[in-house]
Structure 1
Amino acid sequence: MKKKVTMKDVAKELGVSTVTVSKALANKEGVSDSVREMIKQKANEMGYHCNQYGNVSNVGVNNIVGILVAEQFMHDSAFYSKMSQTIVKDLMALNYFAILEIITEEAEEGGKLPNVILNNKVDGIIILGQMNKAYIERIDASKKPYILLDFNDDHFNVDTIVSDNFYGAYELTSYLISLGHKEIGFVGTINATTSIMDRYIGYYKAIIQNRLEFREEWVIRDRDSKGNIGEIYLPHEMPTAFVCNCDETAYRLILLLKKYGYRVPEDISVVGYDNYIYATMSNPTITTVEVNVEAMSEAAVNSIINRMKNPSGECGRQIISGRMVIRDSAAAPST
């Protein structure tokens, strides 16, 4: 049986990139008329075919990865922007390419498949950040290879790459305890994402391991179940420190504490998680855990490429360690 000709074959024959071939065959901008005509002629000679709409057909999709991010995570989130940019860079270094698609809340709730799948634009998918189970089931049913990044869902037998959220929060809480804090709260809606859940469990382990008092009123919501950040309501009786599920929440909590006359860290210490822009724009700057974005991106890129090459291979979970960054928002409790 004769092997089907792909974009990669055409690109190799002409000494140009696969992206250039893709743009030329799809009549997109970024390719000169002469190069476009040369590519189309060579593709025709080699027996490469495009579909009737002028888009690259299924057999022409090569080395292209879709990155799907829920819209809620791209609102003022330097963390997810940095993660997606790093993935694109790492893919390009290996001669792969990326298409980033933002999934709206309406599309996720309505089960509308991403355009990159509907239009058969990609060979594999990286789902970056939490999405609901029903939506992932739709992606799973498309039979496109995919992986989960920065969250996990045991319902799906796929490769997963996550930060060591459990140990990071455990380390932060232990640090507060080492400063002398015995009354420590947690700020984060526990069931909103698996990352927040894991960070809460890390906090909780440090509390019970050190035989400190655990009080449910010190576990405070910061967002709704869909991840939309909302108001923080302080408890009637305050702890001396808070572990926050992310730096943005820590930043907002510090502003709220100041509004009510508390000094940070003299009266109440606050720590965050992620180490992005809110950690350094805060006054005081926030003690936090830095997520190793570079290592997570590298693991995700290697994982999706392996999955595209070997769809039936054994799946696994990779946990990427971060590091604690000590700044000014935590201190020994006042006596």
Structure 2
Amino acid sequence: MSITVKDVAKKAGVATSTVSRVINDHPSISEETKKKVRAIMEEMGYIPNLTARNLGKQISNAIGIILPPLDSKERLGNPFYLETIETINEEARKAGMTVAIATALDFEALLSNVKQMHRQKQVDGFILTYSDNHDPIINYLMKEQVPFTLIGQPYTHEEKITYVDNDNQLLGKQATEYLMQHGHQNILFVTNTTQENVYFERYFGYQKALMLANLPVHPAVTFQGPEDYVNFEQLLKDKKPTALVVIDDLFAMRIIQLLNLYHYQVPEDLSVISFNNSIFATLVHPYLTSIDVDVAALGKMATQSLIEKLNNNEQTSARMVVPHQLIKRETVIAIKE
């Protein structure tokens, strides 16, 4: 025979409405009563019906994870997003919540998905896993006052948004300085994205390090289409760099393959440093020197902040910075005089 709310209320000597409020952690119930009722629920083996509970509260008990438009193989296979989903899912599970994922090939379809999830009350709030210059979704969430947190630094409204990020400008600066410490003076910054804030911040850091050292600063080498891969060989011949700072590990792997195609050896001819310290960093030799951004901490803090917003039913703003760590491996060597 299944235990009901009435059974718990009878044994606890309280009204059934009191038990319901305890289940929903209502502030009107004292901590003493909550402890007493919860102890009896555990003793009797009563498990609250989350569906019924959520209907009563008009909530879904779910978190929406918004991925960026998966419009390229790099984004589709980027372990950063998979690791982020895994961490968010684990934190949500601890809080008795589930997750739903919003994804699409472009921003228009992605916005449509997010609107549907919100209007149909499929989720209570969202975690944005990226920060893009032309993102219509963040504007929608702010306009509709939908609770959300952001992994990354927003382009606008920083004072109104709760976001968790690394200090990406410092990451870019330290990656470049590490190359400089190994004698490199002619360094290029290589990227396959120019819309995401992570690119701007890391590139600014690269610029800052070189400017402070009175070394030449180059425009970012951007890969947007097939012609950029073809032109890269000539660019290397013209610029004659000794080292590259690459936007992330996955793209660094592609760049190393491209360098091999053009008969450059890493690190003998060109040193390479990248970011994220993903699984790709140690898949093949040479192992990538990379800056660990602690993806688990990013996802955990973003999820905990969103759950806190939902529990307190308030729109707050905060900036949380996750520490990083340089992982020294095989793709950076001291330059030969």
Q: Which residue in 1 is equivalent to 2:174? A: 171
Measure the CA separation in 2 of the matches of 1:97 and 1:8.
18
TM-score by length of 1: 0.78
3-state SS, counterpart of residue 98 of structure 1: strand
3-state SS, counterpart of residue 67 of structure 2: strand
Q: Which residue in 1 is equivalent to 2:200? A: 197
3-state SS, counterpart of residue 149 of structure 2: strand
Higher mean displacement: 273-282 or 244-253: 273-282
- Is 1:66 matched with 2:64? yes
- Is 1:284 matched with 2:286? yes
Partners of 2:193 and 2:224 within 8 A in 1: no
Q: Which residue in 2 is equivalent to 1:187? A: 190
The 1:118/1:223 distance shift into structure 2, 3 A limit, reads: farther
3-state SS, counterpart of residue 82 of structure 1: helix
Of residues 318, 321, 327, the one that matches 2:320 is: 318
Q: Deviations over 1:95-144 (max 9, x none)?
A: 33322222441534765534321311222111111343322212223322
Aligned residues: 294
Q: Which residue in 2 is equivalent to 1:146? A: 148
- Is 1:90 matched with 2:121? no
Partners of 2:186 and 2:215 within 8 A in 1: yes
Q: Which amino acid aligns with 1:64?
A: A
Deviation at residue 186 of structure 1 after TM alignment: 0.3
The 1:190/1:71 distance shift into structure 2, 3 A limit, reads: closer
- Percentage of pairs with the same residue: 23
Higher mean displacement: 241-250 or 154-163: 154-163
Partners of 1:161 and 1:320 within 8 A in 2: yes
Measure the CA separation in 2 of the matches of 1:322 and 1:333.
26
3-state SS, counterpart of residue 207 of structure 1: helix
Q: Which amino acid aligns with 1:168?
A: L
Measure the CA separation in 2 of the matches of 1:17 and 1:78.
36
Q: Which residue in 2 is equivalent to 1:162? A: 165
Deviation at residue 210 of structure 1 after TM alignment: 1.2
Partners of 2:192 and 2:251 within 8 A in 1: no
Higher mean displacement: 167-176 or 232-241: 232-241
The 1:145/1:108 distance shift into structure 2, 3 A limit, reads: same
Q: Which amino acid aligns with 1:172?
A: A
3-state SS, counterpart of residue 299 of structure 1: helix
Q: Which residue in 2 is equivalent to 1:16? A: 47
Deviation at residue 334 of structure 1 after TM alignment: 2.9
Of residues 271, 293, 296, the one that matches 1:294 is: 296
Deviation at residue 314 of structure 1 after TM alignment: 4.0
Measure the CA separation in 2 of the matches of 1:184 and 1:258.
18
The runs of 5 or more residues in structure 1 that have no matched partner are: 23-42, 49-55
Q: Deviations over 1:271-311 (max 9, x none)?
A: 11111122112431110101112221221122112222335
Deviation at residue 164 of structure 1 after TM alignment: 2.0
Of residues 262, 273, 277, the one that matches 1:271 is: 273
TM-score by length of 2: 0.77
Q: Deviations over 1:20-61 (max 9, x none)?
A: x43xxxxxxxxxxxxxxxxxxxx5xxxx8xxxxxxx758342
